[in-house]
Structure 1
Amino acid sequence: MIGKDRSRRATIIQRAYRFLTEPRAIVIGGLLLAVTMLGLCTIVLYQGREDALERARETSSNLGLVVERDIERNFEIYDLSLQAVADGFNQADVRGLSRHLQREVLFDHSTTTAKYVGSMLVLDAAGNIVLDSANDVPRPGNFADRKYFTFQRDNPHAGLFISDPFRSRLRDGVPTIALSRRLSHPDGSFAGIALVGINLTYFRQLFAGLSLGPHGAISLIGRDGVMVMRQPYDPRVIGRNLSQASTFRRFTATADGSFLDTSAIDGTRRLYYFRNLPDLPLIVMVAQAESEIYAAWRRRAIRTGSLTAALGIGFSMLAYLLAAQLRRRMRAEAELEILARTDGLTGLSNRRTLGEILEQEWRRARRTRSIVSLLFVDIDRFKAYNDLYGHQAGDDALTTVAHCIGENIRRPSDSAARYGGEEFIVVLPDTPPSGAAQIAEKILNAVSDLGIEHTGSEFGRVTVSIGTASWTPDYDGDLAAMIRAADEALYQAKATGRNKVWPAPARASVRETIGGHSRDFAAS
């Protein structure tokens, strides 16, 4: 059992070695190596692409957080100021003060003097200005038509309201948003509003300080879909309603997140990061152009991919060239082996190969108790042919006769070999004497039908004589005896007139000489 396992392992190893040393295996190995390199390169490049996208998300998130904190901090200050106005306005002693003192008491000086605060006003229930942070005497104006006024009037519990962008009537149309709170009488009825106007330049300057690349964008959008500010700045976009855009619908679907989409404003595909401000009805959106996110990665990918592809192609070509060289070497070795096993003139097996074939068929016949037959073929009066027509013509005749013999043995197991000079042996496995005689007659007639002129022959053409011998299970001789039997039969064919087939006796015995005769093939 152990011996069988070792033999099986040895066979597997031999087969694997043969496969690995084949040209095809080298080509496949080279291609697999190239594909593996390209696969690894693809994985690395894909991971690099994902890393670039993740870095862009982190950058956008950080920028969004900066914007959120700045806006929330300032809006908290403005709201506290508005709340102070609303609380103070309900106090009777404050309402009894002069307007100058009311301004001093109600309006936070730090708020009213802030860089981007336009004005802080108190409107009565009719929408008229009753207190103005800019002057003791309020500027004339009625804002009952503004949404921030009507919303506070109609919603007693509105709290802080942030308006959509509008053009200020008090400051020559400067783009502004208003933060407002409701003022109520002690009985809860509407008394007016307190508001502070914030110049949109505040958001524009805040966004301008954040670098997002040539095609990046950062926006502040109301939860109703109205654009408050966008960088890059375009006055035509401010106040535009984007509630029907696919991007905005995703902004309102969750508190924050990121996604890739195409802008409804300029058609640029971007990575969007958004966050709904928790305490304000605003959405901060930071977007980086997809092309810019992947720009550096793309340059690296082109360099790395090109180099890897070149190496892969180089490996493949090297494997192909190596395989081609190995194939040429194997072909040369095969040709050398063929040359070593064949007769250079006739193309038939040579005597060395004949010995191997005879030994193999002899052993098989004895093992399986089957019949094997031999044909001993000799060209009649070949010496005379050489003398008459020359050695070149003799070589041509040998080649032609050899080809004719090969053409008349059709089975794959049959084989023919040049035995020496003008002699040939045909080995016919599993062929009884009668079958061997038929094949011999066929060869005999085929050679005669070639019609090769031979004036030195009694037949006027090139002919052959053939001796046949067969080994049967009841034959008491060995391989050498069988060959001698076929040789003796050939001698008898020549001795009795040539151009004929002569079978050996059915039960030939092993003898050191062939019937006591001495053959002189030089004169055959």
Structure 2
Amino acid sequence: MTFRPIEEVMRLQSGRQSGRGRTALLALTGAVLVAICLVFTFVMAGWYRDVGRGLGASGESVAAAVAEEVDRNIELLDLALRALSQQWSKPDLQAMPTALRDRVLFDNAMRAPGFGNLLVLDRDGALVAHPPGTDPVSSRFGDRDYFRVHIAGGSVGLFVSKPFQSRLSGRWTLALSRRIDGPGGEFGGIVLGTLDLGYLAKLYKPLAIGPGSAVTLFRTDGTVITREPFVQADIRLWAGGGDAFNRMRSTHSGTFAGASPIDGEERIISYHRVGNLPLIQAVEITGEAAYADWWRRAVAVAGLLTLLCLGSMGLSLRLYREVGRRAIAEAELSRLAGTDALTGLANRRQFEAVLGRVWPRAAASGESLALLMIDADAFKAYNDLFGHQAGDGVLRAIAGRLDRVARDLGGLACRCGGEEFILLVPSVTEAGALATAEAARAGVEALALPHPRGVASVVTISVGVSMQRPAAGGTAEGALAEADAALYRAKAEGRNRCRGAPALDRAA
């Protein structure tokens, strides 16, 4: 482990104290901004889900209502077909002349908006009965799906055909048919009723489901019966096989978001089975208007939060700068409190604080510490001769030399009071410690400051050296006492000299 210079230790300690406050401020600001963003995301996601649920509930209501209306109309037409089938099976009706029979058979036939003709076809698909006054353009319908499905036998019940253009009216039509059984249960023909798809389109038009949305009636085999907005090319399209349609076919009703089985556009799709019929009523809603409102709210809230975040960041930066300025001011105050006003060196208070930090570091790293106690020789006599102002100048000159020596070695020079100084030098050998003391002594002597009562008639200093390895034991107080004792030896032996503790002198 490399020992840091003492001044670096001092800077790190000061920087760490000032940095903690600014780091905490930045962390708090970041946490607040993240919390704001999370709350915004949570709220807007909730609003988005609410919009989707609202659209889905609206679509389900419309799909169920329209399915019920379509089912009611088909049920009315089916009742007419059942009645017609029962009447046709009566022998006395068959014995009537054709004109009279048709008048009796269709006189009470239902006449309702959207309902087309009621017809009776024989076992070969030939038209055998129709309402009086109609003039069918064709008399044979054996090729139609609504006829062929009943030939094989069995109970087909009410059959709903694929949409087709009527040969009678030329309009797009849906046919509903039921089987007629002969006296022995054999196939005897069908009764047929038609429903105008234009009538269904009129049912769909008043529905306010928004632009880009659609209402579609499917057969369960995937055939499109009608769609609003009406596009003739959509009729008789096959929409089966896709994920969306398979989902609609597999359950009675529901709502989901997915691609339309007709045009592939993403919509919220609600669907409902039409009674017990092989028909599915679907409502597809784009939700552009609803989601556009959500986007407006999201942008507005995001703008307000952005202003709030920018304001918070601005306040935080201002506080950051204030904390930095305060830290600088505190560091300066701390420096001044630990600085000797006359010489600019560290004072005794600062020295003791640094020694208290450096000593355990040296103990942990195994490094050495040298303590140099220094005293200006015959300084009182100098003050008596030249006055205190001149004496202060001498102290400043001595401090400058000692500070240079300490800095070169990464150490610290301080003034303890009066004419006494201390040098704290890290990571030096015994010989290095004595060489440092000699360099300090020689440097002061080289200043050649006149002192008639001093050694060699110039200002000089005496140095006492203590060399310590804190890891081996001992205390800082003991080291100071040892250096002080060495200083008194140097002064007692004639001043202007360096002396170490007895062990150090023997090693030298």
Render the CA deviation track for 1:85-110: whole Å, top value 9, x for unaligned.
11110001122234454344433746
> What's 2:309 paired with?
312
When residues 349 and 108 of structure 1 are mapped into structure 2, their CA distance, relative to the original with a 3 A threshold, is farther
User: Once the 2 structures are TM-superposed, how far is the Cα of residue 149 of structure 1 from its aligned partner?
Assistant: 1.2
Of the structure 1 ranges 300-309 and 455-464, higher mean CA displacement relative to structure 2 is found in 455-464
> What's 1:133 paired with?
131
Aligned AA (1:492): A
User: Once the 2 structures are TM-superposed, how far is the Cα of residue 459 of structure 1 from its aligned partner?
Assistant: 7.9
> What's 1:301 paired with?
298
Aligned AA (2:149): F
Aligned AA (2:94): R
Aligned AA (1:327): G
User: Once the 2 structures are TM-superposed, how far is the Cα of residue 37 of structure 1 from its aligned partner?
Assistant: 2.0
1:452-491 equivalence runs, <5 A: 454=448, 456=450, 464-468=461-465, 485=485, 488-489=488-489, 491=491
Render the CA deviation track for 1:301-354: whole Å, top value 9, x for unaligned.
222233224323432442343233223212321221122112356553213434
Aligned AA (1:168): S
> What's 1:55 paired with?
54
| 8 Å contact from structure 2 (residues 166, 173) kept in 1 | yes
Render the CA deviation track for 1:241-275: whole Å, top value 9, x for unaligned.
11233322222222222222222433310111122
| 8 Å contact from structure 1 (residues 219, 229) kept in 2 | yes
1:190-205 equivalence runs, <5 A: 190-205=187-202
Q: Distance in 2 between matches of 1:400 and 1:37?
A: 59
Matched, 1:221 2:218: yes
Of the structure 1 ranges 479-488 and 267-276, higher mean CA displacement relative to structure 2 is found in 479-488
Unaligned ranges ≥5, structure 1: 1-17, 363-370, 507-524
Q: Distance in 1 between matches of 2:27 and 2:60?
A: 49
When residues 146 and 351 of structure 1 are mapped into structure 2, their CA distance, relative to the original with a 3 A threshold, is same
1:309-388 equivalence runs, <5 A: 309-343=306-340, 348-354=345-351, 375-378=372-375
> What's 2:164 paired with?
166
> What's 2:11 paired with?
none
| 8 Å contact from structure 1 (residues 79, 179) kept in 2 | yes
User: Once the 2 structures are TM-superposed, how far is the Cα of residue 282 of structure 1 from its aligned partner?
Assistant: 0.4
Q: Distance in 2 between matches of 1:360 and 1:147?
A: 101
> What's 1:87 paired with?
86
- 3-state SS of the aligned residue for 1:210? coil
| 8 Å contact from structure 1 (residues 489, 504) kept in 2 | no
Q: Distance in 2 between matches of 1:332 and 1:248?
A: 74
| 8 Å contact from structure 2 (residues 85, 191) kept in 1 | yes
Render the CA deviation track for 1:110-166: whole Å, top value 9, x for unaligned.
62x322122111122222222222527766522111111111223342111111010
| 8 Å contact from structure 1 (residues 103, 136) kept in 2 | no
| 8 Å contact from structure 2 (residues 245, 261) kept in 1 | no
| 8 Å contact from structure 2 (residues 115, 195) kept in 1 | yes
When residues 44 and 484 of structure 1 are mapped into structure 2, their CA distance, relative to the original with a 3 A threshold, is closer
- 3-state SS of the aligned residue for 2:233? coil
User: Once the 2 structures are TM-superposed, how far is the Cα of residue 391 of structure 1 from its aligned partner?
Assistant: 8.6
Unaligned ranges ≥5, structure 2: 1-16, 360-367, 504-508
Of the structure 1 ranges 198-207 and 93-102, higher mean CA displacement relative to structure 2 is found in 93-102
Q: Distance in 1 between matches of 2:164 and 2:254?
A: 29
Render the CA deviation track for 1:41-97: whole Å, top value 9, x for unaligned.
211111111111111111011001111110111111100000001111000112223
Aligned AA (1:259): F
User: Once the 2 structures are TM-superposed, how far is the Cα of residue 176 of structure 1 from its aligned partner?
Assistant: 0.6
Of the structure 1 ranges 211-220 and 307-316, higher mean CA displacement relative to structure 2 is found in 307-316
Q: Distance in 2 between matches of 1:355 and 1:236?
A: 97
Which among 94, 118, 126 is matched to residue 116 of structure 2? 118
Q: Distance in 2 between matches of 1:361 and 1:95?
A: 125
Structure ranking higher on relative contact order (CA contacts 8 Å, 6+ apart):
2
| 8 Å contact from structure 2 (residues 78, 176) kept in 1 | yes
Q: Distance in 2 between matches of 1:142 and 1:360?
A: 113
Aligned AA (2:40): C
Which among 271, 279, 282 is matched to residue 279 of structure 2? 282
- 3-state SS of the aligned residue for 2:345? coil
> What's 1:45 paired with?
44
When residues 191 and 19 of structure 1 are mapped into structure 2, their CA distance, relative to the original with a 3 A threshold, is farther
Matched, 1:426 2:423: yes
**Count of equivalent residues:** 467
Of the structure 1 ranges 178-187 and 256-265, higher mean CA displacement relative to structure 2 is found in 256-265
> What's 2:506 paired with?
none
Aligned AA (1:331): I
Q: Distance in 2 between matches of 1:191 and 1:484?
A: 135
| 8 Å contact from structure 1 (residues 346, 402) kept in 2 | no
Of the structure 1 ranges 286-295 and 267-276, higher mean CA displacement relative to structure 2 is found in 286-295
Aligned AA (1:445): A
> What's 1:444 paired with?
438
- 3-state SS of the aligned residue for 2:82? helix
| 8 Å contact from structure 2 (residues 222, 239) kept in 1 | yes
> What's 2:68 paired with?
69
- 3-state SS of the aligned residue for 2:128? strand
Superposition CA RMSD, Å? 4.2
1:260-275 equivalence runs, <5 A: 260-275=257-272
Q: Distance in 2 between matches of 1:175 and 1:361?
A: 100
Of the structure 1 ranges 318-327 and 144-153, higher mean CA displacement relative to structure 2 is found in 318-327
| 8 Å contact from structure 1 (residues 120, 133) kept in 2 | yes
| 8 Å contact from structure 2 (residues 103, 132) kept in 1 | no
Q: Distance in 2 between matches of 1:372 and 1:137?
A: 125
Q: Distance in 2 between matches of 1:357 and 1:243?
A: 86
| 8 Å contact from structure 1 (residues 27, 316) kept in 2 | no
Q: Distance in 1 between matches of 2:443 and 2:479?
A: 33
User: Once the 2 structures are TM-superposed, how far is the Cα of residue 198 of structure 1 from its aligned partner?
Assistant: 1.1
User: Once the 2 structures are TM-superposed, how far is the Cα of residue 167 of structure 1 from its aligned partner?
Assistant: 0.5
Fraction of identical pairs, as percent: 30
When residues 160 and 348 of structure 1 are mapped into structure 2, their CA distance, relative to the original with a 3 A threshold, is same
Q: Distance in 1 between matches of 2:482 and 2:134?
A: 142
Aligned AA (2:116): G
Which among 148, 151, 169 is matched to residue 150 of structure 1? 148
| 8 Å contact from structure 1 (residues 272, 287) kept in 2 | yes
When residues 100 and 450 of structure 1 are mapped into structure 2, their CA distance, relative to the original with a 3 A threshold, is farther
Render the CA deviation track for 1:415-434: whole Å, top value 9, x for unaligned.
54113466412368999xx9
- 3-state SS of the aligned residue for 1:127? coil
Matched, 1:402 2:437: no
When residues 481 and 21 of structure 1 are mapped into structure 2, their CA distance, relative to the original with a 3 A threshold, is closer
